[in-house]
Structures are given as C-alpha cells and as structure tokens.
Amino acid sequence: MPYTPPKVWTWDAESGGHFASINRPIAGATHDKELPKGRHPLQLYSQGTPNGVKVTVMLEELLALGHSGAEYDAWMIKIGDGPQFGSGFVGVNPNSKIPALIDTQSGVNVFESGAILLYLAEKFGGFYQQINRGALRQ
C-alpha cells in the first residue's frame, strides 16, 4: 500500500530549548492557516532577519528607480510563533523558512533570499550583470 503523507502533520514531542518550537523533525504544514493577501502585485512574507531584510531592500530600491510593478505588501511572519508551518505558508515555501514571495501577476512563488533577489533582478532587468559564458571559456 503506498504511503500518503497527511495534509496536516501533528507532532507532540519537543526537543527542548528556545528554538524547539521552530525546529521540528517533520515536514509539511502543522496547521491550516491561509496567508493574508494584499492589493499589490508582489506579496512578501518575511521578518526583519538578515535574509528577510535583503528582499525588502531590493524591492525598495526597485521602487526608488521607478519600477511601479515592484509594489508589494509585506506580511510579518514571526518565526518564533510558528506561522511558517501553516498550510498557506508551506504552500509557498515547503521548507517553512522566510522569506517567501508570491508574484500574483505571473503566479510564481519564490523562496530563499538569493532566489528571490535573482528573480526580482531578472524580472525588472537590473541589479545584476549578464555574463557571456562563452567569453569565460576563452
């Protein structure tokens, strides 16, 4: 009989310590919770950690350069409280880590700060240099 993972996981034992509630030996959602959605094309789910701030800085720089498509709604994900394990967040980022971004215009979900930065740079055509890989081989 094939294994089917549950839609929502349960876990009763904590390993102790300050981060026990956010470091779990399971994957997937632990509770049903939809993500809030705003009116702008980009929805950012993050917190003021170094990785979380990188994306916000990039979005603000894009807006300062006049890219109106970079308007975003920012939603606080307090990782110490566990909202990253909700079904809505896990649907965007199965790794349950911040930051995560939804581009409502393209329908693309992007997670991990570096991937989001690259996605935004390519989408808006800036903040990175195209490399001619053929020239590197010469």
Going by pLDDT thresholds of 50, 70 and 90, the confidence category of residue 9 is: confident
Decide if 113 is inside a domain.
Answer: no
pLDDT tens digit sequence for 80-137: 888 999 999 999 999 999 999 999 999 999 999 999 999 999 999 988 776 665 655 5
- 3 state SS of 124: helix
Domain annotation covers residue 83: yes
Confidence band for 10, pLDDT divided at 50, 70 and 90 = confident
Domain-located, residue 46 = yes
Q: Looking at residue 63, which CATH number applies to its domain? A: 3.40.30.10
DSSP codes, 35-79:
PP--SSSEEEEE-SSHHHHHHHHHHHHHHHTT-GGG-EEEEE--T
Higher pLDDT, 23 or 91: 91
Sequence letter at residue 96: S
Residue 50 within a domain: yes
Q: What is the mean pLDDT of the chain?
A: 87
Q: Which pLDDT band holds residue 17 (cuts at 50, 70, 90)?
A: low
pLDDT reported for residue 107: 95
Q: In what order do the strands lie in the sheet with 100-103?
A: 72-76, 42-46, 100-103, 108-111
Residue 28 located in a structural domain:
no
For the record, the structure tokens of 68 come out as 């109106």
86 DSSP 8-state letter: B
The stretch 61-87 carries a mean pLDDT of: 94
Range of the domain at 66: 41-107
- Please indicate, yes or no, if residue 71 is contained in any of the structural domains: yes
